[in-house]
């Protein structure tokens, strides 16, 4: 890990804390990466724990920070929020920008094994190893971490927590892609990034990981009942079945009338941040 500090892009005071954007050269992706961090006012006097937020298809680090309304409650609770980008940028690989659900903006938080994606699309390593190391080295934070996300990012949060027992104190998700090896979004992405063997996909599928998980980290999921992607892409019933079969603790809340948008996230983000804070603040 380089000792070079990330370069500040923008800074805005918010609820007596600071929302900042940085860029740095990533060893995991081999590209320049951008991330956003909200540092609550408590970080000015002592290190604070961190919630990592993983965004969904087509998003960047900015969507959550601008739309979720999370800073007010993060400032009250004394927790930092870190939001990375959703994929490498600037590689211009063949077909990378052809569709919204593969390539640019659609890294799926996995490590690609297929050419030409394998050299750069290593968002799993970036999110779970490189970025936390960078954050803990250069910012006033502790090594207590939680992780959450939305849609593709909800999938990312769940697999990151399940594949790394003990690395995250808690995990939650909004409308996650629960069973990507069995839905169109996931099948397209996994085929491109990982190849055509479905066995290779299981290492990146929440439902498959739960079946063999040694850790039983509790999972909180909110799902909008009016989500257009509910049946075909998200499949929360598959998550429910997997957790029930494995005896894995799950709180799955179906929220009637809510869709897939940031209006949904903004409505329940306080619940999730308080959920994480209860665990992060434990001695």
Exposed/middle/buried for residue 3 (C-beta within 10 Å: 0-12, 13-18, 19+): exposed
CA angle 43, 274, 140 (to 5 degrees): 15
Catalytic residue numbers read: 151, 227, 260
Give all strands of the β-sheet with 32-39 in edge-to-edge order: 7-14, 17-25, 32-39, 80-84, 48-54, 141-149, 170-174, 219-224, 250-255
CA angle 149, 167, 21 (to 5 degrees): 50
Contacts of 109 (CB under 8 A, 6+ apart): 54, 123, 124, 127, 152, 153, 155, 156, 159, 160
Q: How far apart are CA 198 and CA 18, in angstroms?
A: 44
CA 227, 231, 232, 235 torsion-angle sign: positive
């Amino acid at each position: 890990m380089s000792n070079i500090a990330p370069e500040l892009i923008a800074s805005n005071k918010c609820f007596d804390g600071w929302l900042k954007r940085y860029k740095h050269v990533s060893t995991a992706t081999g590209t320049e990466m951008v991330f956003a961090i909200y540092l609550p006012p408590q970080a000015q006097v002592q290190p604070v724990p961190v919630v990592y937020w993983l965004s969904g298809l087509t998003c960047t680090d900015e969507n959550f920070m601008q739309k979720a309304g999370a800073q007010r409650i993060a400032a009250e609770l004394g927790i930092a929020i870190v939001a990375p980008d959703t994929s490498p940028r600037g590689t211009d690989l063949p077909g990378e920008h052809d569709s919204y659900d593969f390539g640019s903006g659609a890294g799926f938080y996995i490590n690609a094994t297929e050419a030409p994606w394998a050299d750069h699309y290593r968002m799993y390593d970036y999110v779970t190893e490189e970025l936390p190391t960078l954050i803990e080295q250069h910012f006033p934070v502790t090594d207590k971490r939680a992780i959450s996300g939305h849609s593709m990012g909800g999938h990312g949060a769940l697999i990151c927590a399940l594949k790394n027992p003990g690395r995250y104190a808690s995990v939650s998700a909004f409308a996650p892609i629960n069973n990507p090896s069995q839905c169109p979004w996931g099948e397209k992405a996994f085929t491109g990034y990982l190849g055509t063997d479905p066995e290779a996909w299981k290492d990146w599928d929440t439902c498959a990981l739960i079946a063999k998980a040694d850790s039983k980290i509790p999972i909180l999921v909110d799902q909008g009942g009016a989500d257009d992607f509910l049946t075909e892409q998200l499949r929360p019933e598959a998550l429910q079945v997997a957790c029930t079969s494995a005896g894995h603790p799950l709180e799955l809340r179906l929220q009637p009338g809510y869709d897939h948008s940031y209006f949904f996230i903004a409505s329940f983000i306080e619940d999730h941040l308080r959920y994480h804070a209860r665990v992060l603040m434990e001695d």
